[in-house]
Amino acid sequence: MLAHLIGEQKPLLTLIGHTSFGVELAPSLAVSLGSPLATDCIDIGYENETITVTRQMYGGKVNATATLRKAQSYIATVRQATFQVKTEASLNGQVVEVPSPLSEEVARKRFVHYVPPPPGGVDITAAPVLVGVGRGIKDVSNIPAVEELAKTLGGALACSRPIVDKGWLPTDRQVGSSGKTVKPKFYLALGISGAFQHVLGMKASDLIIAVNKDPKAPIFGVADYAVVEDLFKIVGPLKNKMQELKGQK
């Protein structure tokens, strides 16, 4: 049905989220329609009737810009939390309902119901402030203090993959290429070395402050402010100061 709708309406560009479902759907559509396809885009441009896309290569170390061949219609999958929201845009778009000709008996897949996160679960992609922890946290017993700091800052606790691998935090808190891509207003990285897999998931944050004892930690390459210090000397005083400013003490 979607292929028929695109073929009938002939939109210049069809955007699909770069999700597990999107990366399955987009190639099938492209083959059915004979349309050029670009996946995992972090930027899209249109000039002189030509569409260009920017994708990352070598694990996010290089941005590559490609030009799509001329066609009536294009398909692209877009990475989450990539584009800035432009509230001042004046496009006169509208939502149009199109009845589906497919019955449940014909459809291979159908929506059953939405499964919410378990009680206490946190959607880190929606948090305006994130405090991420890495190997530098040393022990699971130190995590509650950092989580308290995150709450004081009005945010949520996130982590790098080693913390999830140890079982110290659930997978829904993992930031990175094998976790979630986030774009908070403020990302505080505590004891995170900055492997490119993690950086790939958080480097679009508006403000990044990194705390690490190693002055050569890769995380400092994407941080707006770098603090070369033991994170345990930062967490307590920062939490106390924030509580003082909020009048909680």
Mean pLDDT, the chain cut into blocks of 10 residues (249 residues total): 84 89 90 92 89 84 88 90 68 78 64 69 88 94 94 94 94 89 94 90 93 94 94 93 78
List where CATH 3.40.50.620 sits in the chain: 2-78
Those residues whose C-beta lies under 8 Å from the C-beta of residue 227, and which sit 6 or more positions away, are 209, 210, 211, 212, 234
Rounded Cα distance between 109 and 164, Å, is: 32
- CATH tag for 2-78 (out of 3.10.20.30, 1.25.60.10, 3.30.70.2190, 3.40.50.620): 3.40.50.620
Quote the distance between the C-alpha of residue 91 and its chain's center.
25
Q: What would the CATH number be for the domain defined by 124-245?
A: 3.40.50.1220
Helix (H) or strand (E) holding 6: helix 2-9
Quote the distance between the C-alpha of residue 153 and its chain's center.
21
Partners of 46 in beta bridges:
51
Q: Residue 32 corresponds to which tokens in the numbers above?
A: 């059915």
List where CATH 3.40.50.1220 sits in the chain: 124-245
CB 187 within 8 A of CB 205: yes
Phi, psi dihedrals of residue 40, rounded to the nearest 5°? 55, 50
Residue in 21, 25, 43, 23 with CA at minimum distance from that of residue 33: 25
CB 96 within 8 A of CB 58: no
pLDDT computed for residue 102 by the predictor: 67
pLDDT computed for residue 249 by the predictor: 53
pLDDT computed for residue 89 by the predictor: 63
Partners of 168 in beta bridges:
none
**How would you label 37-74 residue by residue, b for 16+ Cβ within 10 Å and e otherwise?**
bbbebbebeeeeeebebebbeeebeeeeeeebeeeebb
